[in-house]
Amino acid sequence: MNARIAALAVAVAIAALGPRPAAADDHGDDPRVLFAAGRYAAAAEVFEHRWSAAGDPVDGVNAVVAWRTAGRYARAAALLARVRAAKQPPSGDAAATATELEQRLATLTATATLERVPAAAVVRIDSDPPDRIAGAMLLDVGEHDVVVEQEGCDAFVWHAIAYPGARLAIPYAPRCDRTGTLHVYLDGDLDATFAVDGVRHATRAGEADLALAPGLHELVVASHSRLVVDEPVAIATRRTTAVRVPFPWRARRFGWILGATTEVRAGQVMDGVDGGLTVGVWGARFRATFDVGSAISDTPGLRPDTAGPGHPWVAATGAIHVFTRPLWHGRLGSFRLALDVDPVAMRFDEYRAASYFGIRAQDAIEARVRGYSFLPIALSADGAIVHVELTLWPLSYATYHTPIGGPTVEPGFSAFATLIVGLRL
């Protein structure tokens, strides 16, 4: 250590202590005694504590001297900058000592800059928080390890060799796991796959977790050539985004349905409207449903009468979905729309005056109409819970059974539409 600085430091310390007892200090041990005993760091802590508490610049300068003597040059330089910028800056001998210390410490330290470090990151130099001047970190001359730690990232370690007066720029390049997770639940087909950004992925029991970079990604789900979902999904950093994909009825493998159906028919044999309950099975490749309810029509023997406005109506539908890809698809709010045609499909309707499918049959005196329909075109809307489907049957051949003594009605063609609102069981 420079002899003059040491002499000035001791002199300043003695002057600062004045008439105080030599054996004790407000913070504990006498810093002069600690310094004389070679416990420089301990003396520095006492001097620095006294300066922080009372603002005496002599204590501050002596703390700098003690830190420098302890070999903590960066700590000494950072403290000296604060002491000289305090409300009571050093004066007299203390100011002269501070000036010589500043010049000397400049040859014993280097500065380092670290850019683009998040405020929440923890920076250490050789396991200690860095000393700083005006935002720049100070390093003692020699070799050091600069470590930056932040949540979700590997610890960044940079080995630095600090030369006197050097200005180091630390190339901070964190390796962070900022990926989020997309959790996909395919509600309809446990063996279905999905694609994200054009890459196909499999599921296990209809579910899958996929690690993705934060931002927008394109999720596409198709089943049996039928598009189910094609929409962007926002992935947040280190969070799980859950997406439940309900499958439309025509995209599901198999399921029971329960719904309410309304039919409006117009044709040569009868005009009328009916409504009833629908049950059946519905899958991606086929469907089979049964309807039972009542009808109001203008056909002789089936017109409204005093017994009630409607007459028994039953229907059965069977279809094989040859074309699983819809003619058109779109969105309406939360509902997915699709337009389908089923060339291999048939519907049977029967309207009777008083009985259902032969129960209490009175064929001799009971009027009835039977219709056989083909080539349906369906516009469906699938929501998270409810399925709505409007189906046009453009080709229907109807026959009329004439009761005894009743008028004769010639067979003919008709067209009708059905509207079903149902739930999947």
Whole-prediction pTM value? 0.59
CATH superfamily of 180-247: Carboxypeptidase-like, regulatory domain (2.60.40.1120)
The domain limits of the chain are 3-106, 109-169, 180-247, 256-424
Q: Which helix (H) or strand (E) holds 418?
A: strand 412-424
Record the tokens describing residue 307, joined without a space.
């017994």
End-to-end CA distance of the chain: 88
What pLDDT, on a 0 to 100 scale, did the predictor assign at position 15? Answer: 40
String of b and e for 41-72 (b: at least 16 CB within 10 Å)? ebbbbbbbbbbeeeebbbbbbbbbbbbbbbeb
The class that CATH gives domain 3-106 is: mainly alpha
DSSP label of 402:
P
Q: Which amino acid is at 350?
A: E
Q: What is the pLDDT along the chain (425 residues), one digit of tens a residue?
A: 444 444 444 444 434 433 344 333 444 578 999 999 999 999 999 999 999 999 999 999 999 999 999 999 999 999 999 999 999 999 998 999 999 999 999 999 999 998 888 888 999 999 899 999 888 899 999 999 999 998 888 899 999 899 999 999 999 888 888 899 999 998 877 778 899 999 999 998 889 999 999 999 999 998 877 888 888 999 998 899 999 988 888 888 788 999 999 999 999 999 999 999 999 998 888 999 999 999 999 999 899 887 778 899 999 999 999 988 889 888 888 888 999 999 999 999 999 988 876 666 667 788 999 999 999 999 999 887 889 999 999 999 999 998 877 888 999 999 999 999 998 87
Burial of 220 (0-12, 13-18, 19+ CB in 10 A): middle
Q: What is the DSSP string of 166-191?
A: -EEE------B---EEEEEEEES-TT
Cα dihedral angle (136, 138, 142, 147), rounded to 10 degrees? Answer: -70
What pLDDT, on a 0 to 100 scale, did the predictor assign at position 380? Answer: 94
Number of other residues whose CB lies within 10 A of the CB of residue 357: 11
CA distance 349 to 365: 20
What pLDDT, on a 0 to 100 scale, did the predictor assign at position 362? Answer: 67
Q: In the CATH hierarchy, which fold is given to the domain comprising 256-424?
A: Porin (2.40.160)
> Hunting for tokens 């048939």 — which residue is that?
346
Record the tokens describing residue 167, joined without a space.
């200005």
Q: Which amino acid is at 209?
A: D
